[in-house]
Amino acid sequence: MRKLLLFCIMMISAVYSAQPFTLKSTGEAKEFRLTLYYGAQGKGAFVQYSGKKEIIPLQVKSFRVDTDGRSDGQPDIEYYIWNEMIGGKINGVYEFEIMQHQASNIIYTRAKDNRKFTLEMVEDEKYDGSGKYFLHGALLAFNHFYNNDFNITYPDGKKTAIELPAPDKPSFARQSIIDDYNFDGYDDIAFSVPDEGMGVYRMFDIYLYNPGSKRFEKLKEPDYSRSSCSCLCDVTVEKNKKLLKTGCRGGARWHQDIYRFGKNGTLEWVTTKEQSEE
């Protein structure tokens, strides 16, 4: 059994973010609408109300996945709870359920009077592939399908424009992941596209957040002279050991290279593991 491949498939289904949701109030004398953006495990989330330029950051209060029905072929259910933050204080709480990219049981509780508002998806909204995250005070904007632009707007108003690698085939989508890739306590942002061959693994570009400069900086690729994979492919992290792992296929074998960050912040090769394909 290709344990490495199965592991990567599980990781893809578990951590890659979904599309943003446009929501509308129900049962209110005056309807209001908003768009909720979020990343893996609810990270990088914010809301933006229709007709407003301001964005309101959301702080993850709780995230869990119900997998009870998986053995019977039923989809997982993801449960999110976010604190809506304004001026460093909790202004309200969002509760959210997602199953097969459909949101339900959406409730917003206003903090000042504990009043609950019921929300629902706007069904006629066509998704154009755009994604946005709010991370470390910076607004990150990109597209999963139609272009390769990655734009960062920092709290001081300065902007950075980056061109991401394009998917090899139009049918392939770019995926975005928020995680702490260098184990410094600050979440980073990564993008991946399928490899240029059969699309059996994904090629990563990782942008690390530098708390000193308050900027995102692209992770420099390691020395591949001792590695089996000459790329940042199918990247996963092992937080307890502070290891970064990559995986690729060559012939009938899957290879996994393991790295750790050295004192100068560069990736250093540790070892390589191989598994034959069955």
Residue 188: predicted pLDDT: 98
Q: What predicted TM-score, i.e. pTM, was given to this entire model?
A: 0.87
Q: Can you list the positions of beta strands (E) in 51-169? A: 56-66, 77-86, 89-99, 102-110, 116-121, 130-135, 138-143, 149-153, 159-163
Residue 13: predicted pLDDT: 40
What is the pLDDT of the chain when averaged over all its residues?
Answer: 87
Rg (CA), the chain: 20
Residues 111 and 196 in one domain: no
Strand partners, 201: none
Residue 18: predicted pLDDT: 59
**Alpha-carbon span 7 to 235, nearest angstrom:** 11
Asked if the model's pLDDT at residue 260 lies above 90, the reply is: yes
Asked if the model's pLDDT at residue 122 lies above 50, the reply is: yes
Residues 250 and 200 in one domain: yes
Residues 217 and 236 in one domain: yes
Per the structure, the count of domains in the chain is 2
Asked if the model's pLDDT at residue 255 lies above 60, the reply is: yes
Asked if the model's pLDDT at residue 12 lies above 50, the reply is: no
Asked if the model's pLDDT at residue 127 lies above 80, the reply is: no
Q: What's the pLDDT band for 55 if we cut at 50, 70, 90? A: very high
**Alpha-carbon span 160 to 148, nearest angstrom:** 14
**Alpha-carbon span 39 to 16, nearest angstrom:** 7
Asked if the model's pLDDT at residue 192 lies above 60, the reply is: yes
Residues 10 and 36 in one domain: no
> Do residues 82 and 93 lie in contact, with contact meaning Cβ atoms separated by under 8 Å?
yes
**Alpha-carbon span 12 to 40, nearest angstrom:** 10
Residues 244 and 266 in one domain: yes
User: Position 167: which residue type?
Assistant: P
Q: What's the pLDDT band for 168 if we cut at 50, 70, 90? A: low
Q: What's the pLDDT band for 249 if we cut at 50, 70, 90? A: confident
> Is there a domain that residue 155 lies in?
no
**Helix-strand-coil split of the chain, %, nearest 5:** 5, 50, 45
> Is there a domain that residue 161 lies in?
no
- In sequence order, which residues have a C-beta less than 8 Å from that of residue 116 and are 6 or more positions away? 107, 108, 109, 110
> Is there a domain that residue 40 lies in?
yes
Domain end (from 121, 136, 153): 121
> Do residues 218 and 204 lie in contact, with contact meaning Cβ atoms separated by under 8 Å?
no
User: What's phi and psi for 7, nearest 5 deg?
Assistant: -60, -45
Asked if the model's pLDDT at residue 206 lies above 70, the reply is: yes
**Alpha-carbon span 145 to 128, nearest angstrom:** 8
Residues 270 and 172 in one domain: yes
Residue 16: predicted pLDDT: 43
Residues 188 and 115 in one domain: no
Residues 176 and 224 in one domain: yes
**Alpha-carbon span 226 to 229, nearest angstrom:** 9
> Is there a domain that residue 187 lies in?
yes
Which of 207 and 254 is assigned the larger pLDDT?
A: 207
> Is there a domain that residue 177 lies in?
yes
Asked if the model's pLDDT at residue 111 lies above 60, the reply is: yes
> Is there a domain that residue 66 lies in?
yes
Domain end (from 66, 95, 121): 121
Residues 176 and 77 in one domain: no
Residue 165: predicted pLDDT: 85
Average pLDDT over residues 49-74: 89
> Is there a domain that residue 107 lies in?
yes
Residue 166: predicted pLDDT: 81
Residue 6: predicted pLDDT: 39
Residue 15: predicted pLDDT: 37
Residues 99 and 184 in one domain: no
Average pLDDT over residues 190-200: 79
Give the domain range for residue 88.
Answer: 20-121
Residue 198: predicted pLDDT: 61
Domain end (from 63, 94, 121): 121
Residues 254 and 239 in one domain: yes
Average pLDDT over residues 101-125: 92
Average pLDDT over residues 230-234: 92
Residues of the chain above pLDDT 90, percent: 66
Q: What's the pLDDT band for 5 if we cut at 50, 70, 90? A: very low
Residues 9 and 43 in one domain: no
> Is there a domain that residue 149 lies in?
no
